[in-house]
Amino acid sequence: MSTTGTLCANAAAPVSSGMEADSTNNNNNNNITHTPPTTTINPSTIFTTSTVSTFTSTTATTTGTTSVASTSPIAVVTSQLSLSSPTAMAANSQDSFTPPALQSPQNSTFPMSPQAQFPDPVHDLPPELLQAGWRKFWSKRENRPYFFNKITNESLWEMPVFGQLDPLTDPLGISSPSSSGMVSPVGQAPFSRSSSMEGPLPSLPVSGEKRRASSELFASPTKRMTFTYSPYWNFDIASNAVMYERAPCMLPPVLPEIELLRAQLVAKLRMNYKCLCKTREDIDAPSESFNRWLMERKVCDRGADAMLPSDCNSEVSQSMYREIMNDIPVKLSNPKYSGDVKRQLVNYAEAAKKMIESRGTSSESRKVVKWNVEDMIAWLRKPHSSTFEDYLERLAHLKRQCQPHLTEAAKMSVEGICAKMYHVSCETVKKLHDKHWEILKEHGITAVASVSYPTTKHKVICYPVQMYYPTPRLSQVEVQTENDVTILRYNSEKQKINTSHFHKLEQLYRLNCRDDPKFDYFLARCWCLLRRYETYFGIQPREGFETQAALPISVFQCLNQSFGVTCECFASPLNCYFRQYCSAFSDTDCHFGSRGSILQFHPLSGSFEANPPFCDELMEAMIDHFENLLSESSEPLSFIVFVPECKDSPIQSLMRLENSKFKQKSVVLVAKQHEYRHGFQHKCSKEDLNVKAAHGTMVVFLQNEAGASQWGPTPDRVKELIQAASLTATT
């Protein structure tokens, strides 16, 4: 092939810079073979060497600074060619300009005559090196060239010297001390940066050393640190959970652009919910009801989004309906004094009378409500010395008499609020889905309708969720550390996390992520993770606090040592203690070790801890799931469940736990005498990590026969657990 043909055929070699080159060339070593695309050449348009313009180079050297000026009006040969590969065309568009400093350090000045062979900088190498697969690229971040072998996927800072062996004939390098048949130049000084740069420079790699990322040379945010305090986790504990191999997750890979858009759309959804409650029922949106609505909807949702519902059997959420109805006609709080109860009596009576008169209800309902309201007001006007308990009793009596009629009057309106929220959520999911796949298609990733998997089942130790779709190049995320806080910034959007928990994410990523060994996507995935959970928590202070509260370290240690617990059923990368856990979001958490949603996780054996968020529908689904697993497995299986104790108003899920046939024992941790870990432990101060429990906690042991014989709640083990949960053990 002529010189021009060689130039165009090899123009599809990838061009990248610094760390970007690593993600393009080295991240996909197992999936991509670097093969030049086939090129079709029009013989009538082949240029001779005289058509290639010459280079003129002037080198001026000053103290500590070297500047290279050149003019290189190269004839665009590739414009006359018909490339058979779109990838090659894209690569050619990227190779249109390369800085003059890319030229070989051995040639300080360029020859004045045209070069007949390899005039482009990418192929400005000896023919022996080109035949061996070496190409030359420019690192914008390091401001110097590097050399990449498209056959062996090896990267070097210095130009290799061709040895006696060829990697094609001796790929293992058996006959040579060098694995690729390349010998590094001896005595050649490495490239160095300008001395005008401020700050100390790291030691550059010696000649022939593999190219490393800048983050590994400088103070890297992903570099492992030695902590001076005890960590809040233990990732050395291996899993004893066994499951069948499962299919990969079909959700699209997370992108910072989509998470930022999701945050904006969910914030609008929350505001829409508040406006609906205020305009239709004249009440404030119940606290945390939106978060519980998300949890309740995802129990039955079959939609394409990991967070928002879009495909449910019923438009009306029973959780949202119940919480709105509970605040109609006015929200009642727990009073402390007689004056508070009296004030609530007056407010409830006036709101009930106003509501029943403005709604289209039956005459019988209006008559009952008005009579009870007038009777209550007359009782309040009488002079009497009523106690706190008397006021509470009168308030409860008034609510029992009026609430059924008020519920009937507001039923259609409240159901309309729930249906409206569901429809807006479906529209939001469609916007996110369309934008997400629009970006992925720009990177050549298309959706797959269905995937077939082998029907043969193999038992394996539980492993993190695997994603089906590959990850495109992610947007750049900046990192900054201030005292004990690490700040991740994307498009002026900041996410803060304690430096200790930032390094916790680094450890989880190193242990579980398999598609990014060089940590090219680590910062972007951390930002997406933090942005997703902040979107999920809410925009108000302390909103979502209770959904992420975790058990103290001493309790986890006791659960592991006494009951063999190695996995958490309701956790996140931010609050987990073990390296294996289940969490709410598979797409963001899988890179940090998540086994996915507990409702989609089917272990055959193992010992688990479950501390579910307080949502009745989710807890009932959890109990159904646990009982099915325990009844189907003959191997040791154990679930230790921690739930709030509700003596005054027991809910259905707690009653089912107490009456479960798999319950081996239940104990109660007394209120104010045990603690939980802060729900926002990843960004709160060390002094606020432990929070006293305002309510009692019921611990229920659900185990099958084999699990009870191996990890049964014996008196000694239960005593150790109670001691571990006491304040003296957690402080």
What does the H/E/C string look like for 127-195?
HHHHHCCEEEEEECCCCEEEEEECCCCEEECCCCEECCCCCCCCCCCCCCCCCCCEECCCCCCCCCCCC
More confident residue, 67 or 479: 479
pTM of the model: 0.70
Paired sense of beta strands 567-568 and 603-610, if any: parallel
Same domain, 142 and 97: yes
Q: Where are the beta strands (DSSP E) in 133-232?
A: 134-139, 144-149, 154-156, 161-162, 182-183
DSSP single-letter state for residue 114: P
| pLDDT, tens digit, 9 for 90 and up, residues 251-276 | 999 999 999 999 999 999 999 999 99
Q: What is the pLDDT, as a whole number, of residue 174?
A: 54
Question: What integer is the mean pLDDT of 93-116?
Answer: 38
Give mean pLDDT, residues 16-24. Answer: 39
Q: What is the pLDDT of residue 215?
A: 42
Task: Tally Cβ neighbours within 10 Å of residue 383.
Answer: 4
- pLDDT grade for 65, boundaries at 50, 70 and 90: very low
Strand partners, 610: 641
Give the orientation angle of helix 388-442 with respect to helix 289-300, to 10 degrees. Answer: 60
What is the model's pLDDT at position 446?
A: 94
Q: How confident is the model at residue 196 (pLDDT cuts 50, 70, 90)?
A: very low
| Average pLDDT of the segment spanning 401-412 | 94
Q: Compute the average pLDDT of residues 175-204.
A: 37
Q: What is the mean pLDDT of residues 19-40?
A: 38
- Residues 581 and 506 occupy one common structural domain: no
Q: How confident is the model at residue 19 (pLDDT cuts 50, 70, 90)?
A: very low
The helix (run of H) or strand (run of E) holding residue 556 is helix 553-563
The sign of the dihedral angle between the CA atoms of 444, 448, 454, 459 is positive
Report the pLDDT value the prediction gives residue 55, as an integer from 0 to 100.
Answer: 35
Q: Which of left, alpha, beta for 105 (phi over 0: left; psi -120 to 50: alpha)?
A: alpha
Is the domain of 390 the same as that of 495? no
Q: Give yes or no: residues 420 and 480 share one domain.
A: no
Distance CA 169, CA 240 (A): 46
3-state secondary structure of 281: helix
Q: What pLDDT score does 130 carry?
A: 87
Per-residue pLDDT, averaged over 45-51, amounts to 36
The residue among 375, 404, 438 that closes a domain is 438
In 3D space, the residue among 300, 273, 299 whose CA is nearest the CA of residue 286 turns out to be 273
Give the residue with greater pLDDT, 498 vs 214.
498
Q: Residue 163: what are its φ and ψ, rounded to 5°? A: -95, -155
For residue 699, list its beta bridge partners.
642, 667
Q: pLDDT tens-digit profile of 689-727?
A: 888 998 899 999 999 999 999 999 999 999 999 999 998
Q: Would the pLDDT of 189 be above 60?
A: no
Domain assignment present for residue 222? The answer is: no
How confident is the model over 604-613, as a mean pLDDT? 97
Q: Are residues 114 and 29 in the same domain?
A: yes
Q: Is 119 exposed, middle or buried (0-12, 13-18, 19+ CB in 10 A)?
A: buried
DSSP 563: H
pLDDT of 222 > 70? The answer is: no
Name the more confident of 14 and 281. 281
Angle at Cα 479 formed by Cα 578 and Cα 575, nearest 5°?
20
How far is 34 from 21, CA to CA, in rounded Å? Answer: 13
Q: Establish if 292 belongs to a structural domain.
A: yes
Q: What is the largest CA-CA distance in the chain?
A: 113
Residue showing tokens 């959780």 = 319
CA atoms within 13 A on the CB side of 388: 7
284 and 381 belong to one structural domain: yes
Q: What angle do CA 349, 352, 353 make, to 5 degrees?
A: 85
Residue 171 confidence (pLDDT): 54
Of the ranges 411-420, 658-667, 681-690, 712-721, which one carries the lowest mean pLDDT score? 681-690
Q: Could you give the CA distance from residue 108 to residue 639 in angstroms, rounded to a whole number?
A: 71
Give 134-145 pLDDT, tens digit per residue. 898 888 777 788
Q: Considering the domain boundaries, does residue 197 fall inside one? A: no
Tell me: the pLDDT tens digits for 520-560? 999 999 999 999 999 999 877 777 777 888 999 999 999 99
In this predicted structure, the answer to whether residue 609 has a pLDDT above a threshold of 70 is yes
For residue 18, pLDDT over 50 is answered with no
**Same domain for 471 and 389:** no
Within a domain: 137: yes
Note every long-range contact of 709-717, with CB atoms under 8 Å and residues 24 or more positions apart, other chains counting.
709/636, 710/564, 710/636, 710/638, 711/563, 711/564, 711/607, 711/636, 711/638, 712/664, 713/563, 713/664, 713/665, 713/667, 717/562, 717/563
H-state helical runs in 446-521: 499-512
Q: Same structural domain for residues 264 and 121? A: no
pLDDT in tens, 427-485: 999 999 999 999 999 999 999 987 777 678 899 999 999 999 999 999 999 999 988 99
How many Cα atoms within 13 Å fall on the side-chain side of residue 335? 19
User: Structurally, how many domains does the chain consist of?
Assistant: 4
The token pair at 153 is 């996927």
Domain that holds residue 50: 3-183
Confidence of residue 199 (pLDDT cuts 50, 70, 90): very low
How confident is the model at residue 218, as a pLDDT? 40
Helix H or strand E segment including 474: none
Same domain, 308 and 406: yes
Token pair of 714, please?
């014996």
Residues 502 and 554 in one domain: no
Written as one string, the DSSP assignment of 31-99 is: T----PPPEE--GGGPPPGGGSPPPEEEEEEETTEEEEEEE-----GGGG-EES-HHHHHHHHHTT---
**How many whole angstroms separate alpha carbon 413 and alpha carbon 419?**
10
Within a domain: 231: no
d(CA 331, CA 323) in angstroms, rounded, equals 10
Q: 329 preceded by cis ω (within 30°)?
A: yes
| Residues 72, 53 contacting (CB under 8 angstroms) | yes
Tell me if residue 136 falls in helix, strand or coil: strand
Please identify, among 494, 509, 537, the residue that sits at the C-terminal boundary of a domain. Answer: 537
Amino acid at residue number 230: S
Mean pLDDT, rounded, for 617-640 = 97
Do 296 and 322 sit in the same domain of this protein? yes
The reported pLDDT for the residue numbered 128 is: 82
For residue 365, being part of any structural domain is answered with yes
Q: Is 200 part of any domain?
A: no
Of 510, 537, 564, the domain-final residue: 537
Confidence of residue 163 (pLDDT cuts 50, 70, 90): low
Mean pLDDT of the chain: 79
Identify the bridge partners of residue 637 per DSSP, sorted by sequence position. 606
Does position 291 have pLDDT exceeding 80, yes or no?
yes
Q: What is the DSSP letter of 211?
A: P
Q: Is residue 210 part of a domain?
A: no
Query: Strand pairing partners for 701?
Result: 640, 665
Please give the average per-residue pLDDT across 587-613, as a whole number. 97
Q: Are residues 16 and 112 in the same domain?
A: yes
The residue with greater pLDDT, 159 or 436, is 436
Residue 511 has pLDDT above 90, yes or no: yes
pLDDT band at 352 (very low <50, low <70, confident <90, very high): very high
Is residue 113 over pLDDT 70?
A: no
Average pLDDT of the segment spanning 570-581: 96
